[in-house]
Chain A
Amino acid sequence: MTRKHKVSRWLAALLTGALLLGMLAACQSTQATTTAPTTKADATEANKTDAPSTDKEPIVIGGLAPLTGGVSVYGIASDNGTQLAIEEINAAGGINGRQIKYIVLDEQGDAEQAVTAYDRLVNEHNIVALIGDVTSTPSIAVAQRAARDGLPMIAPTATAADVTLQGKNVFRVCFLDPDQGRTMADFAKNNLKVTKAAVIHNASDDYSVGLAEAFIAQAKELGIEIVSEQTYVQDDKDFRTQLTTIAAAKPDVLYAPDYYGTDILILNQAKDAGLDVPLLGGDGWDGILTQTAADNPKEADGSYFTNHYATSDESPIVQDFLKAFEAKYNEVPISFSALGYDAAKIMAAAIERAGSTDKDAIVKALNETDYDGVTGHITFDENGDPLKPISIIEVVDGAYKLITKIDIER
């Protein structure tokens, strides 16, 4: 018994030690992330001193993005695009002879941290305009503050409708969720000549629901019959039952708007269930080729999805962007990077046209935006949402191919 007691005491001591270590590690990591923004900002400042110097003071533009945390992959991608655009503008002489000083703070995808970071940008750094935020929830929180301050704000990638409804000074570069669903229905009717469609979507995800609802509404408007509508929930892996029901309804196409990790499962299980029709999707499909089987890279062939831009787009502005981005970061930019790039270019152009850093003047100039960007020709509607083309991509021979561009109708 005594030996046993000793052993358990040892175990207890070990466990306590491990726990303490864990807590220490946790403290350190939070410290590291809170200091990260400043080092990032410092790095940006250091860059600027190396840049061609002008006598005039730099224009300070703020940025917000989740550079760490669960959605950091999007934050980093978007910020990389923005950084590239700012670098190009500064190298070309800046805005009306003034360099841009871009200060980006990390908000870890969290609305409260985003608001704190926003206050820091405004109070400590006196920014004249804001590029961000990246994901929808923090963007809405920040947009409320920016609306109160009248600060010109442009969100590169936040798709929720509410973001730009906070104020007249809030703009965005990406299209909204319903735009994609409607456009895909148009494409199905006009280009694919579809008469019967089926829909399967993730009922526990706003993005998936938003696209599906818009698709169904527009399809009915256009006279496409929705022969079956099925749902599933987050983390489901088994779609056989729903797909069997859909196969029995004999649709011409299946609209499956989700992220590519789930889309590939639906794609494969649809084939197993005897459903040999093209699958249609939204920008969540961008990346599906990372999921195809090593021995069958063409398994996603014949699927169509809506996207912000296509790397196969031959237009010089897209190709120049691809070249510059790959030279700087050594990777192919995802659409978040293209949107971050366009956001910075649009904001810089607006400040240039305004001829001053006056908030109202910049907002007025933003409203008059007429810009040819990587993600298409962009003007803004009365809400600050972009009117731009949506790219339709087809997977052909295991590669994304741009089929057509369709202008948003809203």
Chain B
Amino acid sequence: MLFFVQLINGLQLGAIYALVALGYTMVYGIVKLINFAHGDLMMVGAYLSLFLYTSGLPLYFALPLAIIGTSVMGVLIERVAYRPLRNASRLSALITAIGISLLLQNSFMILFSSTPRRFPSVSEHLPVFVLGTNRISFMALLTVLFAVGLMLLLTAFVHGTRMGKAMRAVSEDMRAAQLMGINVNRIISMTFAIGSALAAFAAILYGFSFQQIDPYMGAMPGIKAFIAAVLGGIGILPGAMLGGFLLGIIESLTKAVMPAGYTQLADAVVFLVLILVLLFKPSGLLGQPMREKV
């Protein structure tokens, strides 16, 4: 029973990694850029949600607004920082992404100070499942359901709509897609918009789960989501989801199994997973080299 509860804990953590990983993987699929600022977009989403929610707007209005705001921010970053470098070497774009990440972290620290802020709690208003002596919060199940639902929606979008078809085309060959009359810039903007919206979703679930946000909150989940994306096969949507959940479970169960004083090894195990994947299956668990990637 305890094992089951720990599994749920891991799934809850993994759902957040998975949502962030989806954004990583989409952007990588389209422009072959590892957007290291993606974790910090989650931070932006968290602050936006907090400010809009505490400004007195009702929940169902404040949260969508925060998601839209984060989307706009993501598109803006692409327009200002990444688009001018589209034909530059990939290393330049990567370093710019790291620069944007630091810029976001530090400007939020200056604007809102590094003191952690309290995120509103909703768990008192939600039912709790009692399993023997343990409890499972409804928030945990909600988080997992949200993540899986969004992933399915995204997959349906990519495979079932004209826009999705255009995205897949751009991901396969940007120049050929352009010659076929696809507006590449618009597709890329849309990819960033969707990816950032997912990061904002992750931020809201993170906020409700852990109830505290600060300017550096995006750094570690960002890195772990990146590992999740690589683990599942970067560029593959279900791969990001699988990678995220696996990582969350690995982290949680490591903490649960390790004796006292060694629980901090959980992070080391997570990074070890990255090294092992890169050594033995660099294309990721679901990766098939040189197939369609979105």
Residues of A at the B interface (CB closer than 8 Å) are 7-8, 11, 203-204, 228-233, 235, 237-238, 240-242, 244-245, 247-248, 250, 261, 264-265, 268-269, 272-274, 291-296
Contact = CB atoms under 8 A, between A and B. Distances in A.
B137 A272 contact: yes
A18 to B, nearest CB: 12
B252 A296 contact: no
Contact of B133 (A7, A204, A250): A250
B263 A244 contact: no
13 contacts: A8-B84, A204-B264, A229-B260, A240-B252, A242-B263, A244-B256, A245-B6, A248-B134, A265-B211, A272-B137, A274-B134, A274-B135, A291-B118
Contacts of A244: 2, 5-6, 9, 134, 256
Interface of B: 2, 5-6, 9-10, 12-13, 54, 84, 115-116, 118, 120-121, 123-124, 130, 133-135, 137, 139, 209-212, 216-217, 220, 252-253, 255-256, 260-264, 267
Contact of A272 (B10, B123, B220, B267): B123
A244 B116 CA distance: 24
Contact of A293 (B13, B116, B121): B121
Mostly helix, strand, loop or mixed at chain A's interface?
A: mixed
Which interface residue of A237, A264, A269, A293 has the most chain B CB atoms within 10 A?
A: A237
Contact of B12 (A203, A240, A296): A240
A240 B253 CA distance: 11
A294 B54 CA distance: 10
A95 to B, nearest CB: 40
B9 A241 contact: yes
Task: Report, nearest first, the 5 A-B pairs whose CB atoms are least far apart.
Answer: A274-B135, A229-B260, A241-B255, A233-B264, A240-B9
A7 B121 CA distance: 48
Contacts of A232: 263-264
B11 to A, nearest CB: 11
Contact of B134 (A231, A268, A273): A273
B133 A248 contact: yes
A240 B137 CA distance: 11
A86 B253 CA distance: 56
Contacts of B12: 240
A65 B3 CA distance: 50
A268 B121 contact: yes
A203 B121 contact: no
A231 B260 contact: yes
Given A244-B5, A272-B123, A237 B118 contact: no
Contact of B116 (A230, A261, A292): A261
Contacts, number: 93
Given A244-B6, A273-B134, A273-B135, A230 B118 contact: no
A253 B135 CA distance: 18
A344 B253 CA distance: 52
A93 to B, nearest CB: 42
Contact of B212 (A11, A237, A294): A237
B118 A233 contact: no
Nearest to B116: A261
Contacts of B211: 264-265, 268, 293
Contacts of B264: 203-204, 231-233
Contacts of A228: 260
A191 B17 CA distance: 44
A233 B5 CA distance: 22
Contact of B120 (A204, A233, A293): A293
Contacts of B256: 241, 244-245
Contacts of A264: 118, 211-212
A105 B233 CA distance: 56
A108 to B, nearest CB: 17
A98 B143 CA distance: 68
Contacts of B137: 272
A266 B120 CA distance: 16
A261 B212 contact: yes
A136 to B, nearest CB: 21
Nearest to B120: A293
Name the residue in A230, A250, A274, A296 with the highest tally of chain B Cβ atoms < 10 Å from its Cβ: A274
A236 to B, nearest CB: 8
A274 B118 contact: no
A242 B121 contact: no
Contacts of A261: 115-116, 212
Given A237-B210, A237-B212, A240-B12, A247 B133 contact: yes
Contacts of B118: 264, 291-294
Contact of B2 (A11, A245, A269): A245
B266 to A, nearest CB: 8
A237 B267 CA distance: 13
Contacts of A231: 260-264
Contacts of A265: 210-212
Given A232-B264, A264-B118, A272-B135, 15 more contacts: A7-B84, A230-B260, A231-B264, A233-B264, A238-B209, A241-B253, A242-B255, A244-B9, A244-B256, A247-B134, A261-B116, A265-B210, A268-B211, A272-B139, A291-B116
Most chain-B CB neighbours within 10 Å: which of A233, A235, A248, A296?
Answer: A248
B13 to A, nearest CB: 6
In this complex, the member of A229, A230, A250 whose beta carbon has the largest number of chain B beta carbons within 10 angstroms is: A230
Contacts of B267: 233
A238 B13 contact: yes
